[in-house]
Amino acid sequence: MTAPATQTHSLLERLGVPAAALRGGPLSVRSPIDGSTLAQLPVHSADDVSRLVGEAQSAFLAWRSVPAPRRGELIRLLGEELRAEKETLGTLVSLEAGKILTEGLGEVQEMIDICDFAVGLSRQLHGLTIASERPGHRMMESWHPLGVIGVISAFNFPAAVWSWNFALAIVCGDAVVWKPSEKTPLTALACQALFERAARRFGAEAPAGLSCVAIGLREIGEAIVDDTRVALVSATGSTRMGREVGPRVARRFGRCLLELGGNNAVVVTPSADLDLAVRGILFAAAGTAGQRCTTTRRLIVHESVREMLVARLRKAYEKLAIGDPREPGTLVGPLIDRAAFESMQSALAAAAEEGGKVYGGERVLADTRPDAWYVRPAIVEMPAQTATVRHETFAPILYVLGYEHFEEAIAMHNDVPQGLSSAVFGNDLRETEQFLSAAGSDCGIANVNIGTSGAEIGGAFGGEKETGGGRESGSDAWRNYMRRATNTINYSRSLPLAQGVRFDV
């Protein structure tokens, strides 16, 4: 296999990011594949961020008046660029985030899908007409572009999260300043280069400053968060980050869209098709090395099938090919870094102390990849939903909990601080419908007979409680990126006041 740095540089060059842009700066970008350095990236300062937001603000003032379907054309062109470079960008995602290649490609496909969705949306940014109580009056809602959108993203979806926000924001008439994770800034530079290609083809109507990338650590995120010209901060990452960002944006009455941590569970009922359940759980729990916000972290299984299901899962886990994510056949790539490995090990130790029986979880490939962090995904049978289980550890650990009555399963399911994704496996309509009902799963995503991860872009994506409450991607999530104006138009010759109020002189 080619050295990650050599491969990364040639992919970036192809995408239009020159090698000179990757040298001489203080930010070391490493590949989780072998821990080697991919770039020493220059970083922005808080003053640079202020300048970029200013440029984005000027771009917004011009862009908001371009008709929405025309704005959609720019995103259509971006979709074309992504199609043409799917392999290049997908491989880059693998190199920088450590995802297996098919997931890297899948991430780019998701970007293409959201571009298509946004193009259609550009002709559907519609409001309501509302019956007025006054004669000769009409009421309606208009949706207008919002302003500068600040996107702060996490390492584990280094490209797709941006595109979910970006494609919608651009058709909605906004400009975007993106602060990617400091662990995956190269993918962000590549996305920006692809956007610039699309913008060149689009022509002068796309103002400079419509899209920019601010590179740096969390201070750069904070500069975006505190800038009053940023109308919406869309932040994806840990609950810790959201707890800091939310109140800061609220203090200046800005808008926030938070996509934070999950602690997703699968409930397996006695009527479940266990073949389906094993496949669904395997991908959702061990795929992406457990580093998806929607990764299955808890398995709540009926006692009558618990032993059999755990035995089958353990067998499947043993067959998981762990290794270089670029190798065909690999199913589990590396953890992002040493800190991720250490937090996994301390969670496993804490779970064992709380009475958990741990299978797997050990480091592998340490001899051939001493600077990388590969692990065997872990299954931990727990006696109860302890403090460790209730916490999101961003690594492949599946905690198994048993239940007797379905109500008990739902109560246990909901008894965690997070509320992102959930699933039930079963063929008893009463139970599966109960899971989806108001008295069932309290998550933003609730599935039947599929796992918790791998959402499609057509639905609104996000979750409740400590997951932050935001919704991105499909359905009506576009409304986040626009402001609503309620209009009342009087086409009569009199001026009746609402609610029958009289004010005559």
- Facing residues of 421 across strands? 445
> Could you say whether residue 80 binds ligand NAD (CB under 6 A)?
no
Q: Is 382 in the site for ligand NAD (CB under 6 A)?
A: no
| Per CB under 6 A, 221 contacts ligand NAD | yes
Name which of 122 and 441 has its Cβ closer to ligand NAD: 441
Check if the beta carbon of residue 71 is closer than 8 Å to that of residue 176.
no
Q: Is 241 in the site for ligand NAD (CB under 6 A)?
A: yes
Of 22 and 223, the one with the shorter C-beta distance to ligand NAD is: 223
Q: Work out how close the CB of 153 gets to ligand NAD at its nearest, in angstroms, rounded to a whole number.
A: 6
CB of 464 to ligand NAD, least distance (A): 11
CA atoms within 13 A on the CB side of 69: 3
- Using the rule CB under 6 A, which residue among 237, 333, 360, 454 binds ligand NAD? 237
User: With binding defined as CB under 6 A, does residue 236 bind ligand NAD?
Assistant: yes
Minimum distance of ligand NAD from residue 217's CB (angstroms): 6
Nearer to ligand NAD, 217 or 250 (CB): 217
The stretch near ligand NAD (CB under 6 A) out of 2-10, 125-133, 170-178, 258-266 is 258-266
Query: Which of 169, 225, 300, 445 lies at the binding interface for ligand NAD (CB under 6 A)?
Result: 225
d(CA 78, CA 62): 20
Question: Does residue 73 interact with ligand NAD by CB under 6 A?
Answer: no
3-state secondary structure of 238: coil
Cα angle 221, 198, 119 (rounded to 5 degrees) comes to: 85
Stretch that binds ligand NAD, among 91-99, 152-160, 298-306, 404-412 (CB under 6 A): 152-160
Coil, helix or strand for 301?
strand
Q: What is the DSSP letter of 452?
A: S
CA distances from 281 to 290, 301, 314 (A): 11, 12, 11
CB of 294 to ligand NAD, least distance (A): 8
246 vs 325 by CB, closer to ligand NAD = 246
Among 156, 434, 441, 452, binds ligand NAD (CB under 6 A): 156
For ligand NAD, the nearest residue by Cβ is 221
Contact with ligand NAD (CB under 6 A): which of 467, 473, 477, 482?
Answer: 467
Give the active site residue among 81, 259, 466, 472: 259
Query: What one-character-per-residue DSSP string does 400-414 give?
Result: EEEESSHHHHHHHHH
User: Per the structure block, which two tokens stand in for 79?
Assistant: 């979709």
Residue 155 is a binding residue for ligand NAD (CB under 6 A): yes
Stretch that binds ligand NAD, among 13-21, 175-183, 300-308, 431-439 (CB under 6 A): 175-183
Q: How far is the CB of 23 from ligand NAD (least distance, A)?
A: 22
CB of 201 or CB of 479, closer to ligand NAD: 479
Phi-psi region of 447 (alpha: psi -120 to 50; beta: other; left: phi over 0): beta
Q: Under the criterion CB under 6 A, does residue 435 sit at the interface with ligand NAD?
A: no
Q: Which stretch binds ligand NAD (CB under 6 A): 11-19, 34-42, 150-158, 431-439?
A: 150-158
Interatomic CA distance for residues 121 and 209, integer angstroms: 23
- Please spell the DSSP secondary structure of 71-128, one letter per residue: HHHHHHHHHHHHHHTHHHHHHHHHHHH---HHHHHHHHHHHHHHHHHHHHHTT-----
Cα distance between residue 440 and residue 476, in whole Å: 23
CB contact at 8 A, 491 and 469: no
Among 78, 245, 256, 289, binds ligand NAD (CB under 6 A): 245
Q: Can you tell me the distance from the alpha carbon of 35 to that of 5, in angstroms, rounded to the nearest whole number?
A: 10
Please report whether residue 222 would count as binding ligand NAD according to CB under 6 A.
yes
259 is catalytic: yes
3-state secondary structure of 314: helix
- In angstroms, the CA 294 to CA 455 distance is 9
Which among 17-25, 237-245, 341-349, 491-499 is the span making contact with ligand NAD, rule CB under 6 A?
237-245
CA-atom Rg of the chain in angstroms: 24
Beta bridge partners of 145: 482
Q: For residue 168, which of 122, 124, 234 has the smallest C-alpha distance?
A: 122
| Smallest separation (angstroms) from ligand NAD to the CB of 467 | 6
Task: Report which secondary-structure segment, H or E, holds 138.
Answer: strand 137-145
The dihedral built from the CA positions of residue 457, 233, 463 and 388, taken in this order, carries a sign that is: positive
Q: Which stretch binds ligand NAD (CB under 6 A): 137-145, 148-156, 192-200, 203-211?
A: 148-156
Annotated active-site positions, please?
A: 259
Catalog residues that contact ligand NAD under the rule CB under 6 A. Answer: 152-157, 179, 181-182, 217-218, 221-222, 225, 236-238, 241, 244-245, 259-262, 293, 392, 394, 420, 467
